[in-house]
Chains A and B, each alone.
Chain A
């Protein structure tokens, strides 16, 4: 009986030849990522050692990554204090994979890890962020954990108590129609299987459409796998993964892809043909409330957000800039653009995309999580409606429980910004 990709990864990381769904293992961790919530991890980590007479020591500081992205630059004295505390800890423990608030190496954690070459196929990646699932795009097993669990990982180097997840296989075929892409595919999948449809499972992506998709697009799919409840999403590494790591992440050392066995056992298989897929929109207040754009077209919007760990990459910005170039954002609508990293921001500058956005009336912000989680920048007023390329639309998400958030692709977001209302990007001559 063969193994899925995640079974293979967990077997290797746990020093075994075989792992099966349902077993509980203690895999060694290859990369342990935190953002500002490292402040809480530090607190819990020090508590583990308190009164033991042992020195508080990280098992392997080279495997710890800390990226400030949730509130950058700090929106309050409290956050600034937390960030200061983390900086001191980083210096004391010689953590080198540290990305402070900077234009050169800074950005959103789920973009910084791949573009810095920190994520490799076959690795076990844990992060104190639910969208850590993103890194499955590079063929790693990557999942979110809490701060106390991360403190335990820092101390022990293993994730205690990991239940090997069952796997749902998704085969994707067909060519995307114009103005339709990975975001529409993942919204469609979440709408089909529901917010709990993959609870405690891994979604393994296959098929010609996936093989032909860039790593940027694969990151969109794996990023949002968690919105169907999945422990993670994963795209088995292939030539594109190696190309990305060599060309975009400048990785020089050996890269070894992990593929599922042909006779791997899946709990469920789903086939999707994207050749007739329409642009999709997730409506308030759950991510699985998904409809084709036509069903909600005309809904007035006061704010458009393009960016985030889901859709703030260069190809996303190119699509959006291509639509707004030479046009004007509706006067009653604010358009906010958040590139996913400093590197992407600089690439967008060189390509003239930032100038396109600003000339159209958009405001381009510094890389970071921005309004997605509603802590600073771009909060909504009572009764306002936002359309965003982000990943969550829960009540209160964009800083106000009395507002609404719709989710969509960069193409839908850009076309809608021009119209001041949800619009189909296939219409209007974009």
Chain B
């Protein structure tokens, strides 16, 4: 079962997730090295692959606020992290859907580092603490992008469709 590897407060900005000084690095293949670069211990753990894929970051409200930089999503996706937050900032959430970063909006979710987490379609279950939190479901149109495998694949499918054949 995946475990929580980091707990964060409200309003974690993209400057914390991916500091602006690394923005010249743009390719998803290169951005993972700078994830939480200013949190040096956690960054070092990620770089040395001590954090297993599928591990969970638990955050409060408004995760990913601030800039539109997509590196903040690709850097987390590169480490195959899952983000569970009480709420997400708009652009971050859209970028996450577009790139296929795993996330869940679960208001009230509480966990400590090391807690084991099970996720169902509707709920986040903290198996260690014995608590469960409902997941806010995504609007159908957003789910369609996830189901297509991200926005690149979704757009590719759309281009292949003759013009005017529905939305």
A interface, CB within 8 angstroms of B = 24, 26, 36-37, 39-40, 43-44, 47-49, 52, 54, 70-71, 75-76, 78-79, 82, 127-130, 132, 144-149, 151-152, 155-156, 160-161, 163, 195-196, 199-200, 229, 231, 286, 373-375, 379, 392, 394-397, 399, 401
Contacts and interface: CB of A to CB of B under 8 A. Distances in A.
Contacts of A152: 98, 151-152, 154-155
Contacts of A82: 24, 26
Given A40-B26, A40-B27, A196-B61, A156 B155 contact: yes
5 contacts: A145-B94, A152-B98, A375-B24, A395-B15, A397-B20
Contacts of B20: 373-375, 396-397, 399
Contact of A199 (B62, B94, B98): B62
A210 B141 CA distance: 36
4 tightest A-B CB contacts, nearest first: A146-B95, A373-B20, A40-B26, A401-B38
A377 B24 CA distance: 15
B98 A149 contact: yes
Given A40-B70, A129-B67, A146 B21 contact: no
A127 B91 CA distance: 11
Interface stretch (B50-58, B107-115, B120-128, B156-164): B156-164
Nearest to B62: A196
Contact of A70 (B23, B90, B98): B23
Interface string B135-158: 000011110110000111011101
A26 B68 CA distance: 20
Contacts of B165: none
A75 B21 CA distance: 11
Nearest to A57: B159
A199 B87 contact: yes
A163 B139 contact: yes
Nearest to A372: B20
Contacts of B90: 199-200, 229, 231
A394 B11 CA distance: 10
Nearest to A147: B70
Interface string B19-59: 11101111100000000001000000000000000000000
